[in-house]
């Protein structure tokens, strides 16, 4: 087993070295846990969902496939938002895309039923950034809304995309 993991790590490094896109620690092709939590938190398909630091994840594809109609993907990286747009093709017109920093963006007050963030909050290493993020959550999530934030645990990766 150990040998197999070692070979896999070697293969990923080799593929990365020749410029191929390779899965990294936190990457999952589908965010099943997030989807299940969002399904539990929402009461209808028109509920407003924002995926903060959505990156290149397929969560938005899977939400659209389940019939959700009010989805916003926010990411600080224009590249990530472009990848999402290209991947979705015409369906990308059905979502709101925001290239923005979650700590400084001025989101409308009380609009989101669900705030979802998987593996973005941990980028905020300064206390002021975290406080600003929390203020944005408190402002933009509806009263009675849901906030789903997952970050790396104590045994998770010690680095994310080299940072
Ligand atoms: C580790 S990736 C996770 C992507 C996706 N949520 C997933 O689970 O596969 C973190 C994402 O957060 C974004 N990000 C980092 N800091 C951010 C910030 N301050 N505001 C918005 N997005 C941010 C990064 O650009 C990146 O796309």
The third-level CATH classification (topology) of the domain covering 2-149 is Rossmann fold (3.40.50)
Helices (H) and strands (E) in the chain, counts: 5, 5
Q: How far is the CA of 18 from the centre of ligand 1 (A)?
A: 24
The pTM of the full predicted model, rounded to 2 decimals, is 0.85
C-alpha 22/C-alpha 48 separation (Å) is 32
The residue with tokens 């109609």 is 69
Q: How far is the first Cα of the chain from the last one, in angstroms, to the nearest whole number? A: 29
Q: Where are the domains of the chain?
A: 2-149
Give, using CA atoms, the residue closest to atom 7 of ligand 1: 57
For 140-150, the pLDDT digits (tens) are 999 999 999 99
Q: 119 CA to middle of ligand 1, Å?
A: 6
What does the pLDDT look like over 47-106, one tens digit per residue? 999 999 999 999 999 999 999 999 999 999 999 999 999 999 999 999 999 999 999 999
* 88 alpha carbon – ligand 1 mean position (Å): 18
Backbone angles phi, psi at 43, to 5 degrees: -110, -15
């Amino acid at each position: 087993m150990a040998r197999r993991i070692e070979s896999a790590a070697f293969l990923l490094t080799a593929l990365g070295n020749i410029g191929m896109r390779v899965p990294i620690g936190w990457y999952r092709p589908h965010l099943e846990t997030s989807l299940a939590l969002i399904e539990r938190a929402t009461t209808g398909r028109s509920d407003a969902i924002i995926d903060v630091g959505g990156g290149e994840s397929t969560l938005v594809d899977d939400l659209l496939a389940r019939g959700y109609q009010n989805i916003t993907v926010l990411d600080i990286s224009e590249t990530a938002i472009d990848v999402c747009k290209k991947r979705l093709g015409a369906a990308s017109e059905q979502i709101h895309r925001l290239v923005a920093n979650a700590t400084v963006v001025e989101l409308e007050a009380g609009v989101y039923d669900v705030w979802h963030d998987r593996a973005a909050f941990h980028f905020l290493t300064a206390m002021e950034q975290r406080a600003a993020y929390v203020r944005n959550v408190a402002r933009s999530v509806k009263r009675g809304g849901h906030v789903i934030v997952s970050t790396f645990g104590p045994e998770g990766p010690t680095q994310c995309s080299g940072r």
